[in-house]
Amino acid sequence: MARPYWKGYLKLSLVTCPVAMSPATSEAEKVRFHTINKETGNRVISQYIDSVTGKPVKEENEAKGYARGENDYVILTDDDLDAVALDTVRTIDIEKFVPANSIEWVYLDTPHYLVPNDQVGNEAFAVIRDAMKADKVVGVSKLVIGRRERAVILEPRDEGIVLWTLRFGDEVRPEENYFEDIEDEADPDLVPLVQKLIKQKTERWSPDMVSDPIQESLLKLIADKKKALRSPKKPAKAKGQAVAPSNVVNIMDALRKSVASEMKTKRSG
């Protein structure tokens, strides 16, 4: 289990309980690369360089700067930024509730798991969670993450609560700008064929459906590279050039062939 990276309080009116929050997703298992100097084989490190003197800047001399003119900045230290911290740095105060199905998917940003942080607050947490479940609503609140206040929703899920950060309104592009020129209705003769195809391909959801083939190929490539370092190289065999398939097809014929192929596969399986 990942260690919580935020601890604070969940508050609803006069009801308060200590909670801990952890990311619901992780990229720790992803293949990561370092930048290497090919000549020496040594790892390359990055540094902040003073744009005028060209000299490296020590970590203790780094600060945030707000530009008020060309080469003219207002400098803010960590103490300055901490001084303007909001209550939402440590408290998730549920301000309102909305129907669970009323928030468009495009506003959902990053999921986190929210859990009680001690046994004393367990009951208050459970009451808030179950009340939201019963009314089919999610809580709306705000929370400071990375020195920035974010709108969040709290969605009851099993025994816990999933906290989603929300994208800001100016980050979401209206779908009408992209969908307005698409045909309103499809050919009614083609829809039943696609429905047959959908039915034949329908399965229960599994996390295996979102495996990363590039990640797997990278791991194989790395393993092959390691093996090659321990054994003499063999000349690679030349591969024939693949012919690009034509995209010009009759959609009715393609759908009929697809349905027939799926039926044949199911009978032989």
- Reported as a single tens digit per residue, the pLDDT across 209-219 is 777 777 778 77
Helix (H) or strand (E) holding 201: helix 191-201
Query: Which residue, 69, 43, 47, is CA-closest to 58?
Result: 47
- Reported as a single tens digit per residue, the pLDDT across 14-42 is 889 999 999 998 877 777 888 888 889 89
Task: Supply angle C-alpha 254, 259, 261, rounded to 5.
Answer: 90
Instruction: Name the token pair of 29.
Output: 């298992």
- Reported as a single tens digit per residue, the pLDDT across 123-169 is 999 999 999 999 999 999 999 887 778 899 999 999 999 999 999 88
Helix (H) or strand (E) holding 86: none
User: Of all residues in the chain, what percent carry a pLDDT higher than 70?
Assistant: 87
Dihedral sign of CA atoms 223, 31, 163, 140 in order = negative
Q: Are 215 and 31 in contact (CB under 8 A)?
A: yes
- Per-residue model confidence (pLDDT) at position 28: 73
